[in-house]
Amino acid sequence: MSCCICQKSKTTLVCGVCHQDVCKSCTVFLEPEQFDFLKTKPDFLQSSAFCSACFTEKVSPELDKYEATLEAAKNILVFDVTQGKETRFIKRKEKEISVTDCADKDETVLRLAFQAAEKGYNAIVDMDLKSKKIKEGTYQHTLWSATAVPVNVKGNKLMKDRSIWSDPN
């Protein structure tokens, strides 16, 4: 049992892709919440330790794709259920997406936006956010859930609210 990279005899870890023994100094680690927004992770991402060759070949492209999708999700347009005047000319062809049991309201919206960006859309409409208070003894916290419809929005299809024309900010 020697390291597949440096050939040292002290191996305590196993690569998540090739399942070869790797020493701690040659292992590339991922944080457990690194791919947290993905609904289903590929099997090889279930592990958090990788040899450098497998990390470069398999994990790094997935990580780059994930980070690009997360950046796109941050730029997605979000329209609430109450904004029907602005979104009434937008066609809703895709099925509704949902997120359940999030600890933070902003994270819930970002998870919805991530799912929409993953499917190639640039906006979510009819977003319905709901909160549920959970009491455990004397401790209380809130869980958020939301649903929305992912759409592609073009500037000419977006109805501008006339009440803010005189003061757009």
Quote the radius of gyration of the chain (alpha carbons, Å): 22
Strands 27-29 and 77-80: unpaired
Q: Which domains does the chain have, with CATH numbers?
A: 13-73 (no CATH), 77-159 (3.30.110.70)
The pLDDT tens digits for 57-108 are: 988 999 999 999 999 999 999 999 988 888 888 888 999 999 999 999 999 9
CB 96, CB 142: distance < 8 Å: no
- Per-residue pLDDT of 17-70, as tens digits, reads 888 888 888 888 988 788 888 888 888 888 888 888 888 998 899 999 999 999
Beta-strand relationship, 97-102 and 49-51: unpaired
